[in-house]
Structure formats: structure tokens, C-alpha cells
Amino acid sequence: MSEGRCCLKDNLIKVVNKAQELGAEYAEIRAQELFRTTLTIEEGRVEAARQGIENGAAIRVIVNGAWGFASVGSFDIKSLSDAVSSACKMAKTASSKLRNPIRLAKTKAVEDKVLTKPRKDPSKIPVEDKINLTLAINKMILGYDKSIKTCTIDYLDMTGRNYFINNEGTCIEQDKLYIWSRITATAKKGEIFSFSREEIGSTSGYEIFDVETPEIVGERLAKRAVEQLKAKPPKGGTFPAVLGPNVVGVFVHEAFGHLAEADLTLSGSILLGKIGKKVASDITTVYDDGTIKGAFGSFKYDDEGIPTQKTLLVNRGVVVGLMHSRETAHKFNVQPTGNMRAEDFRVEPIIRMRNTFMEPKDHSFEELVEDIKFGYYLKSFRGGQANLDGTFQVGIQEAYEIVNGELGEAIRNASISGNTLETLLKVDAVGKDFELWPGRCGKGQTAFVCDGGPHIRVREVLVGGSA
Amino acid sequence: MVALKKDEIQSLVEGAVEFALKAGADEAEAFAYQGLIANVIIERGQISRSSRIVDRGIGVRTILDKAVGFAYTNVLESREAIEKTVQNALKTAKASKPDKDWRGLTSKKPQVSVGNIYDQRITELQSEDLVNLASAMLDAAEQTDKRVFPIEGGVGTSELVTAIANSNGVACFDQGTVIECSLATVGQEGGDVTPVCFEFNTERSYKIDPEWVGREAARLAASALKAKKIETKSARVVFTQVAFHELLYYTLVNAVKADYVQRGQSALKGKIGEKVASEIVTVYDDGLLSGGLRTWKFDGEGVPQQKTLVIDRGVLRSFIYDNYTAKKEGRESTGNAFRAGYLSTPYVDATNFHFMPGKRSPEELINGIADGLLVYSLQGAHSSNPASGEFSVVATPAWKIKNGEIVHAVRGAMLAGNVFELLKSVSDLANNERKIGQLVAPWVLVESVKTIGK
């Protein structure tokens, strides 16, 4: 294997050199060796156990100020050479209508080798064990209550190695390890359906299942599905609300985070022109942090070879930073932040979040709730989405009424909406607890992320109820 | 990487099946995919990138004592790599559990012919041609309205090839092309920023209209400026195809899939022959639709695609099946097995989910509304309750209709309800059908949708 790798690296360097000969101002190659196992379990049936290999390389160049990109599912030198010629040709063609040439922020060259050291390496665990584990979660959930009708579990692990080499002297070998599972269940009573989901994700190793055991995950999910059957729809309208860490996470990610991805900011998100300005209440501080050990959104170097970091986005209500690529960093005259990620070798890196969260402060949960006469406690989300104008929507899978300072009846199928900045200004108390939840973010490509924060209170938010 | 030829791909899948049987599989199936994709990309008002992706691989399904195993690889250069993949598939089958409902792979059926899914001209386009198309689209947008900024978009072509073989003698090969142009825009005036508006044109043949896409994307963004809030009430709502697709994708489309029905996850379970939509609603799952975005000769298991009547004048007539779910009920697959490339085992999905159009033009539809909303897109449809059909989403961009005319854009209105109730309240369909993803539909008018404003 080592000989093969050595040879692969030599070939990658040759390709970068060839790009320069073909006139590239900038050239990089990213090669990936990836091994993936996935399972789908439905009501005790193993729908499929799948394993596979995906090897390939992505070449990105700048010629005459325009980007060219080519990817190919092969490492042989002929295919790589064809791809680099193709990338340079694509860039030249694209440059014919260019108005503002692409420039990259200058960065230090890095040479490094990053090895993962999992306690339990998923590639060494037999498929049988993974099947038995997911079947155990399945059984736990289906056996929890007879109203639970279905349970689907998707399991994924990926292990492999990435190589990143550019024409500025950066040369990185980086091991990759991801473990992920999504568990969904439906419960039914009469004509009422409820739906509940959970995700597990880690970059540390298979040992995540020693913490997120079938019992713990199973009960969290099954209990919610059953309780939701008794829940009633919310009243539609504007109400005070307490958001749980899981909902704060998706709010910070969807409603704020995307607007602070510099490519989207430049596309005209409402944060354009707001750097250095107050957009949230004084008690709001938000980070995007790629350095949290084992977290689902963590890694050492991004797919431009930039070290990851803890990036402060909002400091006590003021926007102080964005998430940058080398290209956007050059535009803003700042340093890149290590947020460029590509889902795999097939596609180009784009600016993505890592672990995004609101910093905790001083309130207990009781203190957050006690002054609310009537409002909602939004505990867990189903999905969320935001628009560049700051309109956000977060669908809620678990919520309760708050009546006279105390939690009341369960609510189903609520969602909240509003304008991000207006809502951030209405955050009037921030809790002292903290949770981080794994998830997947879609922006054309899928990225593994975490998001979270403490419980917070929002003076008012629009709650959309069912009919 | 040189593209594989028809006979090379066919011998690849047939060789894998043969080897799997020799290695001890009870049954075996191989699926190969090759995609050649070229894109010219617009970012922030200019053409700044161009890309080319070559992706291909093979996925092998093996069955051992009713347990299913699957493995794939994109390393196709060596025979050893393919054989190793077959061995891996057998290994995962051994590790798996027997499935008592397994009744075998698909058997050989006569092939069907389909129209307008491959156009040689698309495969011959050069990147210069794509740049010219993108440029025409961009120019059209800029000339339409100066307050509009094209944020992203582009022109892309795909040339897709699939081949399947199995141990029952199924052996099929198909190829298709797709060309697409799209543009996302925002309108900006003073401090006013619109939500993202977009237009697109996707076809299987080389007949796209980039200028129209550019003009429309710009016109939408300009008319989304100066949005106002609306009152909370029950309203008549016209859904465009984009919004309707978002609404149905997570709800109705899932509810007619046989696996959802069999697992009790569908609100339509047990409702065959019952009225589930207003009587003007007729829906086919039409895998043979000429030029359809999801039209192919055969599905992900080698079953010929077909046209299935799903809802006939409001009455539910059929669900859609793959081989596994069909055999479980002792019936025939409706050709609805899908694959997400070579990495995926087959799963049930719609082909072209075709809502039959009505007679009135979209203008006539609007003209008949005294008070209502025109909704172009939805935010948060993916957070709908997939089992019950309940949804709570933001309509954006959307416009207020008053006395038969569009009067102003609407900001932040939420729509809430249940998709299955909504289908019963469809009161008209326009005649402007178009293709988007798996939906083929016109604009749809729905009575009394709960809209939550201020």
C-alpha cells in the first residue's frame, strides 16, 4: 500500500505541475480514497447492507482569472492528465466573459499528515456487529409502545484518506472518519400520525454508540413519537417562546449561519453591509467552530488546505466575522477561515459551516419560563430553511404550551417563522446550559455539521399552526 | 477518462453477474452507471467557473438464502476490482439476515420504446457553447431590470448511461441526455432585499430557452420588491409548479409509494377506490412520457417503465411498486424502482408524476380570483409531517391577488394545513403544464388555505 500511495502522491504533484505548464495561475488537486458502509433497517428487516469504494481526484485551477474544475473517478496518470487539461481548457473558456478576475487571499503553505486515532475504528468492525447494533435500536423503539408502527434506521460510516496538493507548496494527507445514523419512527392512533427523528454523528469513532446506546437513543425517540399522539395543534400567531438547544442550533445554523457564509453574503444576504453593526441583542454571541474534538463538523484542514479554526461570527450582538474561502477572504481583505468543504471528489469545495452555536449565559430553564403568561416551549426541530432576505422557517417536532410560567400540553406540527435579524434582536434571555447536536446540511452538496447552544427566550416569534 | 462504450458497459454487468453465480450467489444483479456532466457556472453576476465531472461505477446485488448483500466500486479498470466487489456483496449478504418476504429478482420482460430522451446534439456541445448560452441568459436578465442581481445559475449538460443484468436473464442498456439552464436572482432597491427568486428550463432535447429564463428570473425578483405583510385568514391560493412540487414531494408522492403503504406510513393506506382529491384531479405516474425528465426504457431493476393511473378524477386507483413491494402483494412491479447512481440499492420512487392540466390559461385563473395569493415557492416544506401530510411553511416569494390582478408581493406569510385535505380543495388547474423534478403539472388553484400573516 505504501508504495502505491507514494506513487499516487508523485502523480498528483505531476498533475499540479502540468497545470502550471498549461498556464494556470493557481492549481490544486484533491484525491480521495474512501470506503463506505451503509445499512437500512426497517421493522427488523435488513433492507440492505452495502459496502463500497470510491476513489477519485478533483482538480481545480485558475486560468486567466476564471475557475476550471474537473473530477475523475480514477488515479491513473492518463486520466489525471486528461482531467487537468480539461480543467485548464474549461477555465480558459469560462474566462472569455469574465468581468472581475478571481483572486485568492495569500496563505501560508502547509505540509502535514493527519492521522485519526479512533478507539473503535468502524472499518475494523464486522458488518454483523453494525447490523446487530442497528437491529437493537430498532427493537427497542418498536417495543416501546404498541402505537409505534414503523422504525427506519439508516447507518453510515466512511473511512479513508484525502490528499491535498497545490502549486503554492501545500501538501496535506488527512485521514477521514465519519459515523452517522438517522433514526425515524412513526406512531399512529386512530387517524392521528406522529413522526419522530433523531440523528447521531461523530468524527471520533464507533465508540459514539457507547454513549448513544440503543436504550438512550431509542427511548428519546420513542417517547416523543408516543407523546406527540396526544399533542394538539398550536394556535397560529405571534407569541413569546423558549427555544431548546436543539432549536437554537438549527436557528443559528439556518437563519443566521447561511447568511454569514461569505459567498451568500456577497450574493446579497441581509448581512452585506452589516459587518461591525449590531444585529442581535447584547446577550447574543455566535461561533462557527471546526476544532471541537470528535464533533460531527470538525476537521483539521479544509478542502483548500486551510487550518480550521474557531470563528467568532457575532460578538455580543455585533457581526464581527463571516465564514470565508480564499476567494471571498480576498474580496473582504481578511484571512480565510477554513470553511471550504467538498462532499467528495466529484464536486468543488464551497463555503460550509462546521459546528455552529450560540454561547451560553446565565439563566436557568425555570427563569426563562417563569415570566411567560402564554407562549410555547419549542424543544426539538424537524427541519429548517432560510432565505437571503432573512426569512426563516423552522419546523418543530416537539413543543409544549407555556401557561402561567409552567409547561403545559404537548403541541404537534408547529413551526416558527420570521426575519432572522428581527428575531435575534428579540432574544431577551440566554440560558446557562449547552448542547451540541449533529446533523447534515444541504447546500447543493451535503456537509456533516453540528449546531446547538443553550435554551433561550425570544420575546415574540410567529408560530404557524396546522389547520 | 475515456467514456465506456455500450458493449463495454454491458459486458461489465453481465460479467459481474456471471462471476457472482460462480462464486456461490443464489441470485445476482449488476447495475452500471456512467455520467458525463459539464457545467458553466454563473456566480454573483458573472460567468466565473466551468466544470466537468466524469463519474461511473458498478453496484452488485447478491442474494444468499434470502439475505441481500450489496457492494459497489468506481474502480473499473481491473477485473480483480470487480471480482472483489462481487465478493464484498456476498460477504455483506452473509452478514445480513434472511428476508422472509424476498421472492426473487425481476424476470425478463419485453422492452418498451420511449421518445425524446436522448439528443446527440447535447453530447456534441462544447464548453464555448455553454458559455454562450449562459451569457445570453445573463444578458437577458440584466436588460430586464436594473434592480435585479443574478446571484447564481448556469448551464449544464449530462449524458447518462445505465446498464442492468441479472441472473434471470434481464439485460438492458439505456442512455439519455439532459440540458438545463437556471438563474437565481435577488431584487434590491434602497434597503429592500427580496427573497431568492429563480427560473429554470430543463429538457431532454436541445431546445432550451436561456433568454426566457433570464427575463423571467429578473421579472420575478423585480416584482418581489416592496413586499407587504398580509392578514391571517383562510385564502384562495394558486400554487405554481415549483411550490406544488415542494408541497407534494414529502407528502403525496411518498403516500402512494407501496413501501410506505405496506409499512403503514401512508395516509392513503386502504383508500384504493376512495375519493382522495377533488374530482378535477387526475394523476398518472408516467414513466413513458415523451421527453419526461424521469423517462427511461427501464427502471432501476430492469423492469420496463409504464404509465400508471394513480388518481382518476379524484379517486385513488393505484399505488406505485418496485419488484420487492409488488411481489409481497403477489402483483407486478409498476416499474418504479430507482437508484441514486451505482452507490444505491433500488427504492420505490415516482417517475413523472403527472397532474393532468385544465383548460384555463394562468391569466384566466388569476382573473377569476377576487382575493387570494399566488405562491411561487415554499420554505420549509421538508419539515412537513411525512406520515400525516400536515405542513406549516413560508410562502416566499408570493404575491397578493385582488380583484383578478396581482397587486403586490407578500412578505413572510405562512401556509398551514394538511396536504390530503388540500387535494380535496383543488378547484381548478390551469393549462400551463411544465416539468420540474418528478412533477409535471400546471398551476393549481386551491380553496381555503389557512394563511398566517401578521
b/e sequence A435-463, b meaning 16+ C-beta within 10 Å: bbbbbebebebebbbbbbbbbbbbbbbbb
> B380–A393: do the CB atoms touch at under 8 Å?
yes
CA distance to partner chain B, nearest, from residue A90 (Å) = 5
Of the CA atoms within 13 Å of residue A379, those in its CB half-sphere come to: 21
A467 interfacial to chain B (CB closer than 8 Å) = yes
B63-104 pLDDT, tens digit per residue, is 999 999 999 999 998 889 999 999 999 999 999 999 999 999
B97 and B161 part of one domain: yes
Would you state the pLDDT for residue B77? 82
A263 interfacial to chain B (CB closer than 8 Å) = yes
Rg, Å, chain B Cα set:
24
Question: How large a percentage of chain B has pLDDT more than 90?
Answer: 89
Contacting residues of B for A42, CB less than 8 Å apart? 263
Full DSSP string of B177-226 = EEEEEEEEEEEEETTEEPPPEEEEEEESSS---HHHHHHHHHHHHHHTSS
Mean pLDDT, residues A292-316: 97
ipTM reported for the complex, 2 dp = 0.92
B202 and B292 part of one domain: no
Mean pLDDT, residues B373-392: 87
CA distance to partner chain B, nearest, from residue A362 (Å) = 32
Is the pLDDT at B2 greater than 80, yes or no? Answer: no
Picking from A154, A415, A420, A461 by the largest number of B CB atoms within 10 A of its own CB, the best residue to mutate is: A415
> B46–A99: do the CB atoms touch at under 8 Å?
yes
> A466–B97: do the CB atoms touch at under 8 Å?
no
Whether residue B251 lies inside any domain: the answer is yes
Q: Closest Cα partner for B3 from B127, B175, B136, B250?
A: B175
Which three cell numbers, joined as nine digits, stand for A202? Answer: 461523530
> A53–B385: do the CB atoms touch at under 8 Å?
no
Does A240 or A191 have the greater pLDDT score? A240
Which three cell numbers, joined as nine digits, stand for A388? Answer: 437571503
Is the pLDDT at A413 greater than 90, yes or no? Answer: no
Position A466 confidence tier, pLDDT thresholds 50, 70, 90: low
Which has the minimum average pLDDT: A44-48, A119-123, A204-208?
A: A44-48
Burial of residue A408 (number of CB atoms within 10 Å: 0-12, 13-18, 19+): middle
CA distance to partner chain A, nearest, from residue B176 (Å) = 20
Q: Dihedral (C-alpha) B249, B255, B259, B262: value to the nearest 10 degrees?
A: 170
Cβ count within 10 A of residue A210: 10
Which has the minimum average pLDDT: A148-152, A312-316, B157-161, B385-389?
A: B385-389
Whether residue B1 lies inside any domain: the answer is no
Cα separation, A322 vs A332, whole angstroms: 10
Is the pLDDT at B190 greater than 80, yes or no? Answer: yes
A275 and A407 part of one domain: yes
- Cβ partners under 8 Å of residue B316, min gap 6: B268, B271, B272, B273, B274, B275, B276, B310
Question: What stretches of B44-114 adopt beta strand conformation (E)?
Answer: 46-64, 67-73
Helix (H) or strand (E) holding A287, with range, is strand A286-289
Is the pLDDT at A6 greater than 70, yes or no? Answer: no
Which three cell numbers, joined as nine digits, stand for A296? Answer: 460531527
pTM metric for this prediction: 0.94
A198 and A318 part of one domain: no
Would you state the pLDDT for residue B313? 98
Q: Closest Cα partner for B380 from B267, B249, B246?
A: B246
B201-228 pLDDT, tens digit per residue, is 999 999 999 999 999 999 999 999 999 9
> B265–A94: do the CB atoms touch at under 8 Å?
no
Which has the minimum average pLDDT: A199-203, A410-414, B82-86, B213-217?
A: A410-414
B318 and B364 part of one domain: yes
A376-392 pLDDT, tens digit per residue, is 999 999 888 888 888 89
Is the pLDDT at A1 greater than 70, yes or no? Answer: no
- Cβ partners under 8 Å of residue B313, min gap 6: B279, B280, B281, B282
Position A467 confidence tier, pLDDT thresholds 50, 70, 90: very low
Burial of residue B431 (number of CB atoms within 10 Å: 0-12, 13-18, 19+): middle
- Cβ partners under 8 Å of residue A143, min gap 6: none
B259 and B399 part of one domain: yes
Q: Dihedral (C-alpha) B258, B264, B266, B271: value to the nearest 10 degrees?
A: 80
A96 and A134 part of one domain: yes
Cα separation, B72 vs A443, whole angstroms: 26
B214 and B249 part of one domain: no
- Final residue belonging to a domain, choices A207, A229, A251: A229
User: From A238, which residue of chain B is nearest by alpha-carbon distance?
Assistant: B454
B432 and B287 part of one domain: yes
Would you state the pLDDT for residue A193? 85
Q: Closest Cα partner for A304 from A288, A286, A331, A328?
A: A328
A315-357 pLDDT, tens digit per residue, is 999 999 999 999 999 999 999 999 999 999 999 999 999 999 9
Q: Angle, nearest 10°, between helix axes A77-94 and A2-21?
A: 30
B214 and B287 part of one domain: no
A147 interfacial to chain B (CB closer than 8 Å) = no
- Looking up residue A164, the CATH number of its domain turns out to be 3.30.2290.10
Mean pLDDT, residues B2-27: 93
A 374-393 residues with CB below 8 A of B? Answer: 381-393
Contacting residues of B for A83, CB less than 8 Å apart? 1, 52, 54
A155 and A255 part of one domain: no
List the domain range (segments joined by +) for residue B243: 233-452
Mean pLDDT, residues A259-267: 95
Cα separation, B378 vs B375, whole angstroms: 8
B168 and B39 part of one domain: yes
- Cβ partners under 8 Å of residue A117, min gap 6: none
Contact, B139 vs B214, CB < 8 A?
yes
A441 interfacial to chain B (CB closer than 8 Å) = no
Whether residue B228 lies inside any domain: the answer is no
Rg, Å, chain A Cα set:
24
A131 and A279 part of one domain: no
Which has the minimum average pLDDT: A330-334, A358-362, B441-445, B450-454?
A: B450-454
B207 and B261 part of one domain: no
A100 interfacial to chain B (CB closer than 8 Å) = yes
A286 and A416 part of one domain: yes
Q: Closest Cα partner for B154 from A30, A26, A28, A348?
A: A348
Contact, B362 vs A365, CB < 8 A?
no
Which three cell numbers, joined as nine digits, stand for B121? Answer: 446534439
> A50–B92: do the CB atoms touch at under 8 Å?
yes
Number of domains in chain B: 2
**Cβ-nearest to A97 among B47, B71, B93:** B47
Full DSSP string of B315-361 = EE---B--HHHHHHTT----S-EE-SGGG---EE--S-EEEPP-SB-
A139 and A166 part of one domain: yes
Is the pLDDT at A3 greater than 50, yes or no? Answer: no
Which three cell numbers, joined as nine digits, stand for A2? Answer: 505504501
> A52–B59: do the CB atoms touch at under 8 Å?
yes
A97 and A218 part of one domain: yes
Mean pLDDT, residues B327-348: 96
CA angle B57, B58, B63 (to 5 degrees): 160
Contacting residues of B for A68, CB less than 8 Å apart? 49-51
Question: How large a percentage of chain B has pLDDT more than 70?
Answer: 99
Picking from B31, B41, B51 by the largest number of A CB atoms within 10 A of its own CB, the best residue to mutate is: B51
User: From A84, which residue of chain B is nearest by alpha-carbon distance?
Assistant: B52
> B417–A466: do the CB atoms touch at under 8 Å?
yes
Full DSSP string of A50-90 = EEEEEEEEEEEEEETTEEEEEEES---HHHHHHHHHHHHHH
Helix (H) or strand (E) holding B254, with range, is helix B252-255
> B101–A93: do the CB atoms touch at under 8 Å?
no
> B131–A99: do the CB atoms touch at under 8 Å?
no
A107 and A250 part of one domain: no
Would you state the pLDDT for residue A322? 98
> B50–A188: do the CB atoms touch at under 8 Å?
no
Helix (H) or strand (E) holding A391, with range, is strand A391-403
- Final residue belonging to a domain, choices A176, A206, A229: A229
Cα separation, A215 vs A154, whole angstroms: 17
User: From A152, which residue of chain B is nearest by alpha-carbon distance?
Assistant: B263
> B99–A45: do the CB atoms touch at under 8 Å?
yes
User: From A54, which residue of chain B is nearest by alpha-carbon distance?
Assistant: B74
Mean pLDDT, residues B38-51: 95
A345 and A297 part of one domain: yes
Of the CA atoms within 13 Å of residue A352, those in its CB half-sphere come to: 29
- Final residue belonging to a domain, choices B202, B223, B244: B223
Mean pLDDT, residues A260-273: 92
A86 interfacial to chain B (CB closer than 8 Å) = yes
CA distance to partner chain A, nearest, from residue B114 (Å) = 30
Contact, B302 vs B166, CB < 8 A?
yes
**Cβ-nearest to B387 among A67, A126, A193:** A193
Q: Count contacts between A and B (CB, < 8 Å).
A: 297
Question: What stretches of A190-267 adopt beta strand conformation (E)?
Answer: 192-202, 237-243
A64-81 pLDDT, tens digit per residue, is 999 999 999 999 999 999
Cα separation, B182 vs B200, whole angstroms: 4
- CA distance to A218, B29, B449, per residue, from B388 (Å): 22, 36, 17
> A68–B49: do the CB atoms touch at under 8 Å?
yes
List the domain range (segments joined by +) for residue A186: 2-229
User: From A58, which residue of chain B is nearest by alpha-carbon distance?
Assistant: B53
Tell me phi and psi for residue A308, to 5 degrees: -70, 170
Number of domains in chain A: 2
A312 and A199 part of one domain: no
> A96–B49: do the CB atoms touch at under 8 Å?
no
Scan for cell 396546522, then name that residue. Answer: A466
A47 and A184 part of one domain: yes
Mean pLDDT, residues A423-442: 96
B217 and B247 part of one domain: no
Contacting residues of B for A237, CB less than 8 Å apart? 232, 452
- Final residue belonging to a domain, choices B181, B200, B223: B223
User: From A61, which residue of chain B is nearest by alpha-carbon distance?
Assistant: B49
- Looking up residue B216, the CATH number of its domain turns out to be 3.30.2290.10
Cα separation, A246 vs A364, whole angstroms: 16
Residue A159 Rama label (left phi>0; alpha psi -120 to 50; beta):
beta
- Final residue belonging to a domain, choices B191, B223, B255: B223
Would you state the pLDDT for residue B387? 78
Whether residue B144 lies inside any domain: the answer is yes
Q: Closest Cα partner for A86 from A100, A101, A72?
A: A72
Full DSSP string of B128-146 = HHHHHHHHHHHHHHHHH-T
Contacting residues of B for A98, CB less than 8 Å apart? 46-48
Mean pLDDT, residues B248-258: 95
Which three cell numbers, joined as nine digits, stand for B187? Answer: 431584487
CA distance to partner chain B, nearest, from residue A416 (Å) = 9
Contacting residues of A for B198, CB less than 8 Å apart? none
B177 and B269 part of one domain: no
> A268–B263: do the CB atoms touch at under 8 Å?
no
Cα separation, B148 vs B213, whole angstroms: 14
Whether residue B101 lies inside any domain: the answer is yes
Contacting residues of B for A52, CB less than 8 Å apart? 57, 59, 71-73, 85, 88, 343
Contacting residues of B for A412, CB less than 8 Å apart? 385, 390
Contact, A43 vs A151, CB < 8 A?
yes
Whether residue B106 lies inside any domain: the answer is yes
Picking from A33, A36, A53 by the largest number of B CB atoms within 10 A of its own CB, the best residue to mutate is: A53
B273-320 pLDDT, tens digit per residue, is 999 999 999 999 999 999 999 999 999 999 999 999 999 999 999 999
Cα separation, A466 vs B165, whole angstroms: 48
- Final residue belonging to a domain, choices A195, A229, A263: A229
B154 and B265 part of one domain: no
Position B382 confidence tier, pLDDT thresholds 50, 70, 90: confident
Which three cell numbers, joined as nine digits, stand for B125? Answer: 456541445
**Cβ-nearest to A268 among B95, B149, B392:** B149
CA distance to partner chain A, nearest, from residue B45 (Å) = 9
> B1–A52: do the CB atoms touch at under 8 Å?
no
CA distance to partner chain B, nearest, from residue A150 (Å) = 7
- CA distance to A96, B51, B325, per residue, from A67 (Å): 12, 8, 47
